[in-house]
Structure 1
Amino acid sequence: MRVGVDIEDGGLARITLRRADAGNAIDLAMARGLLDAARACAHGSVRAVLLTGEGRSFCVGGDLREFGALSGAALERHLMAVTDALHDALRTFAGIDAPLVAAVQGAVAGAGIGLAAAADVTLAADDASFTAAYTGVGYSPDAGVSWSLPRLIGPKRALDLLLTNRRVPAGEAAAIGLVTRVTSPDRLAAEARRTAESLRRGPTAAFGATRRLVAAGLSADLGPHLDSEARALAGLAVSDVGREGVAAFLGKRDPDFTGGAHRL
């Protein structure tokens, strides 16, 4: 199985890329495995998602050995199948309320950058490095990289990485906004788990509304976006999530958001 999915009691979904011997390169089977995993996370019981990769590298991008074995129309059809599955997985992750945490180490290239960029919180080991790699083999980006990179680091920096394929170490990736923060390799798993657990206990519906507002705000005009904020806030305020949060604040206690919060 290329992608492991484990949904724990309490709603934490752990997704693991399992092609360590190939640097977790994305072939058709892995792309479809990611789509299946994303669909499993769309279930209402999932409250947070943790994405990791086995082995020395998080994900080195597409499986060029698989692609190189094909040519012509067969290659074109194959790449469309891979990207269709991978992109549907990314759309699904973006559409759920549960926040996504990614823990990345070693080589992160091509579509691996797309997966890392898709997470709401991306933790990187200090041995991680990021290389766009696409144009180095005569390809253009997929996995949302040409969409996410300009939004995270700006169009000039994005084009620098996409055109030159220079290697970006973890420290620089954090400084320019490609990852959230950097930790030591021996602390990466524990820190990612702690972060995902904290989000799992949080107000899932409010997280979902916030994710959608931030995504929409990147292209919305201010006036309509203010209206969207008002509607989302008002809807949450009368929900179980909002009522519990305010009651806990006024009662000087920790809120319990895990008692059946629903998507608005």
Structure 2
Amino acid sequence: MSAVSFSKENGVAYITLNRPDKYNSFNREMALLLQQHLDTCATDDEIRCVYLTGAGKGFCSGQDLSEAMNPSPEDFERMVTEHYNATILRIRNIEKPVIAAVNGVAAGAGANIALACDIVLAAESASFIQAFSKIGLIPDSGGTWFLPRLVGLQRAAALMMTGDKVTAAEAVAMGMIYRAYADDQFEAETRKMAATLAQMPTKGLGLTKRLLNRTFEHGIEQQLDMEKEVQVQAGSSYDFREGVQAFLEKRKPVFKGK
């Protein structure tokens, strides 16, 4: 059984962390397989949306600690660099929407990998836990970058220092995630959103993501300049021409993601 399953359908790549007996905790095999599939998503023009979820009752419980017993500083560095940093950068650099469909507990690196995605959707029974403080570590996988931007510095500090569990409803209320669904509607609703995004103008969505990746490092003048530069690219796309033509003809556009 593969540690990560992969399929694609109607423009959506479905990636499932697949170690359900371990609550999809990361080992090296899983990390490298996930990165391979993300690389495929980045280069395959047929894929216009990425849907990341977990098998069984959990989304991802973070690092498999049985693979991290008594690590040397070099082992720690390799693990963070090759397993987690490399995964986060792939998620952010794919110029296509990436959905995290959080079906259960997302803890430690699992929570922060979810938060690195463009849109986070959760089942009502799911939860998010910055579990690092429980074992004397700091939040990695981009947690100290994403969480303060989503919920504010004070709340991020409290969640990281206490390791308190955040329910899906609480996560929506504090702006950590986009939406939560009843468990019996979760899969259908999250797949519906992925299917919708896969039919949208992928080039424009990817360029939007490029701008969002830079927004917190730019002043307003820099961001306006970048918007101008990127808008010219968007205006040169097939999907822009199709969108305008469909508007003028009062019909639904048929985007190709180009």
TM normalised by structure 2 equals 0.95
Question: What fraction of aligned residue pairs are identical, expressed as a percent?
Answer: 37
1:186 aligns with 2:184: yes
The runs of 5 or more residues in structure 2 that have no matched partner are none
- CA distance in 2 between partners of 1:37 and 1:90 (Å): 13
SS at match of 2:68: helix
- The code of the aligned residue for 1:11 comes to G
Give 2:152's aligned residue: 154
Structure 2 equivalent of residue 42 of structure 1: 42
CA distance in 2, matches of 1:49, 1:207: 13
Give aligned pairs, total. 255
Please say if residues 5 and 37 of structure 1, whose CA atoms lie closer than 8 Å, have aligned partners that are also in contact: yes
Match of 2:125 in 1: 127
Partner of 2:173: 175
1:61 & 1:34 partners in 2: Cα distance? 14
CA distance in 2, matches of 1:235, 1:67: 45
Determine the C-alpha separation between the residues in 1 that align with 2:44 and 2:66.
Answer: 38
Amino acid at match of 1:82: M
Q: Which amino acid aligns with 1:179?
A: I
Query: In structure 2, do the counterparts of structure 1 residues 28 and 78 end up closer, same or farther at CA, with 3 Å as the change threshold?
Result: farther
Q: Is the 8 A contact 1:47 1:97 kept in 2?
A: no
Aligned to 2:57: 56
Per the TM alignment, residue 3 of structure 1 is displaced from its structure 2 partner at its CA by: 0.9
Q: Secondary structure at the match of 2:110?
A: helix
Shift in Å at residue 72 of structure 1?
4.7
Q: What is the distance in 2 between the residues matched to 1:12 and 1:78?
A: 35
1:79 aligns with 2:69: no
Contact 1:2 1:19 in 2 (8 A): yes
CA contact under 8 A between 1:35 and 1:86: conserved in structure 2?
A: no
The answer to whether the 8 A contact 2:11-2:195 is kept is no
What SS does the corresponding residue of 2:206 show, helix, strand or coil?
helix
Q: Which of 162, 165, 171 is the equivalent residue of 1:164?
A: 162
- SS of 2:125's partner is coil
Pair 3,81 (structure 1): closer, same or farther in 2 beyond 3 Å: farther
In 1, the alpha carbon distance for the partners of 2:15 and 2:244 equals 33
What letter is aligned with 2:178? Answer: T
- Structure 2 CA distance for aligned equivalents of residues 13 and 87 of structure 1: 22
Question: What 5-or-longer segments of structure 1 have no aligned partner?
Answer: none
Out of 129, 141, 144, the residue aligned to residue 142 of structure 2 is: 144
1:3 lines up with 2:4 in the alignment = yes
Amino acid at match of 1:28: R
Q: Which letter does structure 1 place at the counterpart of 2:123? A: A
Q: Is the 8 A contact 1:6 1:14 kept in 2?
A: yes
